[in-house]
Amino acid sequence: MSMLQGNKSAGRLTKRIIPCLDIKDGRTVKGTNFVDLRDAGDPVELGALYAQQGADELVFLDITATVEKRKTLSELVNKIAHHINIPFTVGGGISSVEDVQVLLQNGADKISVNTSAFKRPALLRELEKEFGSQCVVLAIDTKKEADGEWYVYLNGGRTKTEMKCTDWAYQAVELGAGEILLTSMNHDGTKSGFALDITRKLSDILPVPVIASGGGGTMEHFVDVFRNGHADAALAASIFHFKEIPIPDLKNYLAENGIVVRV
């Protein structure tokens, strides 16, 4: 296996590539193009395939609408933890220490919070105190408005706030967030490249890693977000699901362009 062959880029922390899987009622949604999978809707099977291909971490985002169906999430997390040998983050609808406890006990390495932390920032402090900041990822959906400022949006991008992205990120890290997952709504789904300016700004001012999300469409975009956006990690979904960019090709391309990656 290639991972056992070592690498010449010794002694440096690598930039991470993170596929994101949207989960609804325990199944992967948004569709996939993996004809070689027995069941493309099975998040465990898809996640294991990505891990085998060299993904550095995985994010599972639960978009299940109803609270009662969310109970299937902890069972799914348990199944993922049994089968996948790289770290993974679970997000979606988490709003309490108890929610996190269940997910971590079932084997999640990190959890991500978004709207619930914005509405009650003390949640971040509680999670940090109970579990440590290394497992607390704050997801921020942000949009650049006509005034040129990036604002925080809630509820999956449906609700605008008056909070500037940088202010919220800075405050959240002070409270205990150990990583920031930054999604640019202006770029998400466009495949026109990541939001380099806000990613770079956050990454340069914050003492914690920033995961860039939204807009990755070509392998050059990933080089850009690491080199010019100063991102610590980059997340994408459909380009991996539809095999537009195979992970091994992306890793090799990054390495050829001087980005330190695990290949």
Partner 1 sequence: MNLAIVKYNAGNIQSVLYALERIGVEATVTDDQDFLRKADKVIFPGVGEASSAMQYLRERGIDKLLTSLTQPVLGICLGMQLMCQYSEENDTDCLGIFDEKVLKFDVAGATERIKVPQIGWNTIYNLKTPLFKGLPENSFCYFVHGYHAALGEHTIATTDYIQPYSSALHRDNFYGVQFHPEKSAAVGEQIIKNFLAI
Q: Is 69 in the site for partner 1 (CB under 8 A)?
A: no
- The yes-or-no answer on residue 141 being catalytic is yes
Q: Is 9 in the site for partner 1 (CB under 8 A)?
A: yes
Q: Cα separation of 70 and 149, whole Å? A: 35
| Helical pair 196-205 and 165-175, crossing angle rounded to 10 deg | 30
Q: Considering the complex, state which of residue 28 and residue 106 has its C-beta at the smaller distance from partner 1.
A: 106
Q: How far is the CB of 192 from partner 1 (least distance, A)?
A: 27
Q: Is 16 in the site for partner 1 (CB under 8 A)?
A: yes
The phi and psi torsions of 83 (rounded to 5 degrees) equal -105, -20
- The yes-or-no answer on residue 22 being catalytic is yes
Residue selected from 73, 140, 208, 231 as contacting partner 1 according to rule CB under 8 A: 208
Q: How far is the CB of 73 from partner 1 (least distance, A)?
A: 16
Bridge partners, 3 (sequence order): none
Catalytic residue among 56, 62, 99, 141: 141
Closest of 161, 68, 45, 190 to residue 60, by C-alpha: 45
What is the DSSP track for 15-60? PEEEEEEEEETTEE-S----TTSS-TT-HHHHHHHHHHHT-S-EEE
Q: Is 86 in the site for partner 1 (CB under 8 A)?
A: yes
Q: Is 35 in the site for partner 1 (CB under 8 A)?
A: no
Q: Are 48 and 84 in contact (CB under 8 A)?
A: yes
Q: Is 246 in the site for partner 1 (CB under 8 A)?
A: no
Q: Is 67 in the site for partner 1 (CB under 8 A)?
A: no
Residue selected from 82, 119, 120, 160 as contacting partner 1 according to rule CB under 8 A: 82
**Residue list 101-120, contact with partner 1 (CB under 8 A):** 104-107, 109
Report the SS3 class of residue 96. coil
Q: How far is the CB of 4 from partner 1 (least distance, A)?
A: 6
Print burial letters for 212-240: b (CB count within 10 Å at least 16), e (below 16).
bbbbbbbbebbbbbbeebbbbbbbbbbbb
Residues that bind partner 1 (CB under 8 A): 1, 3-14, 16, 51, 56, 81-83, 85-87, 104-107, 109, 131-135, 178-179, 204, 206-209, 230, 232-233, 262
Residues acting as catalytic residues: 22, 141
